[in-house]
A and B are shown apart, each in its own frame.
Chain A
Amino acid sequence: MAAQPAIEARQLRKTYTTTRGIFRRERVERAALRGVDLKIAPGELFGLLGPNGAGKTTMVKIFTTLLLPSSGSALVLGLDAVKEQWALRKRIGFVFGGERGLYWRLSGIDNLRYFADLYRIPPDVSRRRISELLERLDLSGRERDRVELYSRGMKQRLHLARGLLNDPEVLFLDEPTIGLDPVGARELRVIVRELADAGKTVFLTTHYMFEADAICDRIAVIRDGAIVAEGTPSSIKTVVRDQGIVEFEVVGMPVERLAGLRRLPGVTSVAISEHELAQVVTVHCARPAEVMTQLGVILDGINLEKVSSREPTLEDAYVQLIGDSQ
């Protein structure tokens, strides 16, 4: 990476300190980031994946100057997010997922005008930009309605419009599609991809593997405040390259039967999830065909349904990387 990175973290650490108790106050420390190193090139669409509490939002908040790290450095566009926050805030945008973060009793256009003022955008520029953003994000015609009348998808598009008001060079998106219906989420992903194609650097956190797989140039997986894998989606999948996945559904299977599956040669992990009344069992293994033949023996007397074998996905790689912390 020859050019100056758009976003860079060097040994970034954040520990939250709180106290509990009234008379004997006790300090409680929780490490959210444990020495993260990261470099993101200009114009890259970078995805950060991880379970709840892994440190994704903490990292976004440090880069967007909302939080101070405990140690290490966070640079965005070469500016120190700790000390040069005023210069940095003019050049970045951010969007947090969910419906909050907007003034519901104001109209969409008034929300945008207010934030345009806070970003000190000259009135003639803000008028033009707001009009363009309303058009581009399909909010034209409803801009004078109160935000409380907007659908969730419209609110999220308004969030994105607010994040783009200052025409930022770097855009931070923290789970922007959370809670959106599939169509709304897909529309938002298309817009995000277009922004990256137009040259903006995008830092996206998400829970959805297919989302990261579909639009990100590069991704990192974070677990317990540390990066455990980093690369392109296809390179991340190589974690499970030599593996296949066997999946099947059963009803009322005793848990001890899983031990038999785990003992089979080549099996690296067995995960079980509930799906209505059934249990869906996912087996990561080196030789799927052998596992499928052994299933009947190990699960003798149990009604097996929907037995299938498939190629590993990014989600499988993620599950493998995150392991038991999920």
Chain B
Amino acid sequence: MSRPGAASSHVVYGVLGGGLIGYWSVAYLDGGNGIQEERWNGTLEQIFATPTRLWVILLGKITGGLLFGLLAFLPTAAIAYLGFHAVLPNLDPGRFAISLGILTFSFFCIALTLTPLFALWRWAFSMLNGFELGVYILCGFMFPVAVLAPWAQGVAALLAPTWAVRALYASTLSGGPRDFVVWWLATIGLSLAYLAGAYFLYALVERKARISGQLALA
């Protein structure tokens, strides 16, 4: 690895990558696990039948997950930072903070969109890990998206965190493209598109759940 004071991109990926994986993992899994736990507790039907919309209930759960995820990110990044004896001389704190905030928003939108699927389809829970790992690779948590195959880069471009992660890394490195506003807007735009899809998805899930009765364990 590089000597302290001269962090190269692979050191930065090492420092931040672990934290990002921890953040995404907790934020994303918390929603899916939360729904599964509600089903096992027998409380999924109870909360579904209250006058509060399912998305509002999940919003609270997902926000809690994001908070725990953020708590996972900071110490993981700190440990990696200290472990590598690395410093980030080119860190732009302002852009880093904005990128992290926008990344958080994208995680929130993905979790809010995907979580109702776990309420409806029990088999969706078994896909949980696959999607979690896919995002690590496709969104460039551990290495730049540019090293992926062209088709994978195409898929990555449709995932909102890809652009926020790119901005996050760029805010710690000198040189290379610096299109922060474009990346931030791409993240926000894609996240809002997910939310628009979620609007219809929630209506579908609520109707399907009432037809199939799949909110109960048995």
Contact = CB atoms under 8 A, between A and B. Distances in A.
Given A66-B213, A103-B41, A120 B51 contact: yes
Interface in B201-215: 207, 210-213, 215
A98 interface: yes
Given A89-B50, A115-B50, A118-B57, A66 B43 contact: no
Given A66-B215, A118-B57, A101 B43 contact: yes
Contacts of B47: 118
Interface residues of A, number: 25
A68 B211 contact: yes
B46 A115 contact: yes
A102 B43 contact: yes
A90 B49 CA distance: 10
Contacts of B213: 16, 58, 61, 66-67
Contacts of A16: 212-213
A98 B46 CA distance: 13
B51 A89 contact: yes
Contacts of B212: 16
B210 A66 contact: yes
Nearest to A172: B49
Interface string A58-70: 1001001111100
Nearest to B211: A68
Contacts of A90: 51
Interface string B32-72: 00000000011101111111100001000000000000000
Contact of B41 (A58, A64, A102): A102
A94 interface: yes
Nearest to B37: A103
Contact of B210 (A65, A94, A100, A119): A65
Nearest to A117: B52
B68 to A, nearest CB: 16
A119 B51 contact: yes
Contacts of A103: 41, 43
B42 A66 contact: no
A66 B52 contact: no
A22 B212 CA distance: 19
Contacts of B42: 96, 98, 100-102
B218 to A, nearest CB: 10
A104 interface: yes
A64 B216 CA distance: 14
A86 interface: yes
Contacts of A58: 213
Contacts of B51: 86, 89-90, 118-120
A66 B211 contact: no
Nearest to B206: A85
Nearest to B48: A66
Contacts of B45: 66, 96, 101
Contacts of B49: 64-66, 89, 94
B41 A68 contact: no
Given A118-B57, A119-B51, A101 B46 contact: yes
A33 to B, nearest CB: 12
A98 B41 CA distance: 11
A236 to B, nearest CB: 30
Given A67-B210, A68-B210, A118 B50 contact: yes
B45 to A, nearest CB: 6
Interface in A60-84: 61, 64-68
Nearest to B56: A118
Nearest to B39: A100
Contacts of B217: 100
B41 A104 contact: yes
Interface string B92-105: 00000000000000
- Best-buried of A58, A96, A100, A103 by chain B (most CB within 10 Å): A100
A104 to B, nearest CB: 7
Contacts of A118: 47, 50-52, 57
Interface in A252-267: none
6 contacts: A61-B213, A65-B49, A101-B41, A101-B42, A101-B43, A103-B43
